[in-house]
């Protein structure tokens, strides 16, 4: 996100990082981490996740109106560490871990604002995937494939019924369930956990190929992100400690801005760089239900 000024008879463009601050919103009814999320700042959807520090998952869905969370339709399958994208009334949930926290699945569900229905099966069984796009034009990438035991670099594209293979990422990464944003043909992947290291690398997707983007200021796994490829917000996560830091991306570089009130990782996010909601996560001691709102 940027502001550009023009002076006199020639154009002089100056990119000014936009700072912002977090304020307290209404808390989730069910505290959870490793959840899926979708929608806007005042129309956010939170679904699945771990309601305790154990691996037991929930099927609970909640809807946010900018003030209060209310109960929505339950997932068909209780799941955590899954991909989530779309809007509050047209969301997509795919892959993740089951109720025992074991392995990974390739299940896909679609939400119409009240009920979840089965969607087209993901090509591989995987957890901790990144996600971008809409219910009928989604992108899933990275994660840990079931049985492989290693971080992945594959991406897959969804047309509302069938998944097909997309371009490979440059970096293997996991803990990416919330570090993707943008659209299927203009996506941003940022940070995550690579081969035995926290990643600073970001990558840009054009619908065919991933290319190198600017490094984030603080490498992190399991943060949340919202926005577009050229105007994104990245917040929370885990490095050597739980992070409260927030960064914004203008398509060229990352800039630090106001910290979360509660540092956490495995959180969800909804909205854009013009207004973002953060919810849930793990603060290093307990699973939390706190909601915060970021406004630039």
Residue 112: φ, ψ to 5°: -110, 15
pLDDT at 128: 92
Chain centroid offset of residue 224 CA: 5
Count of C-beta atoms within a 10 Å radius of residue 6? 10
Q: In what order do the strands lie in the sheet with 202-205?
A: 180-183, 186-190, 202-205, 210-212
Q: How far apart are CA 86 and CA 183, in angstroms?
A: 10
Give the residue from 171, 92, 96 showing the smallest Cα distance to 138: 92
pLDDT at 7: 37
What domains lie within the chain, and their CATH numbers?
Answer: 22-295 (2.120.10.80)
Give the residue from 206, 246, 209 showing the smallest Cα distance to 229: 206
Q: How far apart are CA 187 and CA 204, in angstroms?
A: 6
What the block records as the tokens of 130 is 């990144």
Q: How far apart are CA 288 and CA 23, in angstroms?
A: 16
Task: Please check whether residue 126 is in contact with residue 104, taking contact to mean a CB–CB distance below 8 angstroms.
Answer: yes
Low-confidence ranges of the chain (pLDDT < 50): 1-14
Q: Determine how β-strand 202-205 pairs with β-strand 186-190.
A: antiparallel
pLDDT at 100: 64
Note the pTM of the prediction, 2 decimals. 0.92
pLDDT at 16: 58
pLDDT at 179: 86
pLDDT at 103: 72
Task: Please check whether residue 127 is in contact with residue 94, taking contact to mean a CB–CB distance below 8 angstroms.
Answer: no
């Amino acid at each position: 996100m940027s502001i550009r000024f023009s002076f006199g008879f020639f154009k002089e463009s100056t990119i000014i990082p936009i700072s912002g601050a977090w304020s307290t919103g209404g808390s989730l009814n069910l505290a959870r981490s490793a959840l899926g999320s979708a929608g806007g700042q005042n129309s956010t959807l939170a679904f699945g996740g771990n309601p305790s520090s154990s691996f037991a998952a929930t099927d609970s869905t909640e809807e946010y109106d900018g003030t209060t969370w209310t109960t929505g339709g339950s997932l068909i399958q209780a799941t955590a560490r899954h991909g989530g994208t779309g809007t509050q009334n047209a969301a997509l949930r795919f892959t993740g871990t089951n109720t025992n926290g074991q392995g990974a699945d390739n299940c896909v569900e679609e939400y119409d604002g009240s009920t979840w229905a089965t969607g087209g099966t993901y090509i591989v069984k995987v957890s901790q995937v990144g996600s971008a796009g809409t219910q009928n034009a989604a992108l899933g990438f990275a994660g840990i494939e079931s049985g492989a035991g290693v971080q992945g670099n594959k991406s897959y594209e969804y047309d509302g019924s069938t998944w097909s293979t997309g371009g490979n990422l440059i970096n293997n990464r996991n803990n990416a369930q919330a570090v993707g944003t943008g659209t299927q043909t203009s996506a941003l992947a940022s940070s995550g956990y690579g081969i035995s290291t926290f990643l600073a690398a970001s990558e840009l997707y054009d619908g065919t190929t991933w290319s190198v983007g600017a490094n984030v200021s603080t490498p992190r796994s399991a943060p949340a992100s919202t926005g577009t490829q050229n105007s994104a917000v990245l917040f929370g996560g885990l490095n050597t400690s739980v992070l409260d830091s927030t960064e914004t991306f203008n398509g060229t570089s990352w800039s630090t801005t106001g910290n979360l009130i509660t540092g956490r990782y495995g959180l969800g996010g909804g909205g854009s760089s013009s207004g973002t909601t953060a919810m849930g996560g793990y603060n290093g001691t307990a699973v939390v239900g706190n909601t915060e709102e970021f406004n630039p």
